[in-house]
Chain A
């Protein structure tokens, strides 16, 4: 790894009740790198992702983004984006509203600027026709692309995916891996938690096997 470090985990430890799920995890991801996090079911992949996202409180450990101490629970900077396995779109909002909510309300980007960004994203993700649809009117692949757009519009440095291929057929899968490569060209660092070893091999620069905890 010769590019600068985007994300670093130092000795991250997490237990549920008395079960140690993450035992001193050390991990470094370079800028623009695609890292797959793999390992057997129940080993703690999702938990690791949730600690990076600040959704779980760690017992011990540090996080750094761009070599600076980082508090995962602070979401105000939108440094890290996430595409959930179940997408978690807001059912009461249209595709457009789902994507524009955070830039308008959190980042307070002017409306015409957001409009431009959204237009580009809709193009890239082939969602133009669906922009006024509600989530219930979308296919699985379309939902996922909306979730990607919703994360991407905030210009995160790091984009995470939990099981991105679990709901996709072969064609959608190859479309997603193509997207990941496009984002890589834009220097977005990507973390992919997956069961799908074939996909992991195809798409990632490097694999991190959580069961073995080696790098």
Chain B
């Protein structure tokens, strides 16, 4: 027990880093993902092709490679980022692509007919999107977004390779130093708590959207 309270501060500060990365990534990747999704449905072929290539690149290569590429690779051509910034860039670029695919699917499944009906009532494209299309898309994408959000918590441990003091690193350092399994078990428990809280929130939100079918 005494040992646990000794290592807890370092684990909690690691948790703080993990949560920060998580929150910043979500706040940036969701709006970018929505914009990408709109671009993917655009009439401009060139834009579409570029964005499709981008999504393919981000989803078709390992996130770990992308992290290493940005932090260790880019400096060889003179582009240098601070550790945490490099991590944020990689995560946002990667997750925005996943979110874009989810939102694109959501937009596709809200029928063209709904847009027509809104247009005929005189609603502008923006009004139709805000009051009619987006609320329906959100309901549709909630389950898959929930999965990705949980994945993000776990993926955040990949920043280990950049030497960032996240939760996993904090646990690993303590285990190596004190030769005990306890820190890693605690790390596991903290991850479970984080994903548990997120699952709870996800269920709440989904229930919030179950008022219509």
Interfacial residues, chain A to chain B (CB-CB below 8 A): 53, 55, 75-78, 81-82, 84, 86, 88-93, 101-102, 105-107, 134-136, 150-151, 154
Contacts and interface: CB of A to CB of B under 8 A. Distances in A.
17 contacts: A53-B120, A55-B116, A75-B122, A88-B114, A89-B117, A90-B132, A92-B132, A92-B212, A101-B131, A102-B122, A105-B123, A105-B127, A106-B122, A134-B211, A135-B212, A151-B121, A154-B121
A136 B121 contact: no
Contacts of A136: 212-213
A96 to B, nearest CB: 14
Nearest to A80: B120
A102 B123 contact: yes
B113 interface: yes
B122 A78 contact: yes
Nearest to A76: B122
Chain B interface: which size bin?
10 to 19
B10 interface: no
Interface of B: 113-114, 116-123, 127, 131-132, 135-136, 139, 211-213
Give the interface centre of A55, A92, A135, A136 by most chain B CB atoms within 10 Å.
A92
B138 to A, nearest CB: 9
A154 B118 CA distance: 13
B129 to A, nearest CB: 12
Contacts of A93: 131-132
Contacts of A90: 114, 117-118, 131-132
B208 to A, nearest CB: 12
Contact of B121 (A55, A106, A135): A106
Nearest to A94: B212
Contact of A102 (B114, B121, B135): B121
A150 B122 CA distance: 12
Given A92-B132, A105-B127, A78 B213 contact: no
A89 B123 CA distance: 14
Given A78-B121, A102-B122, A88 B211 contact: no
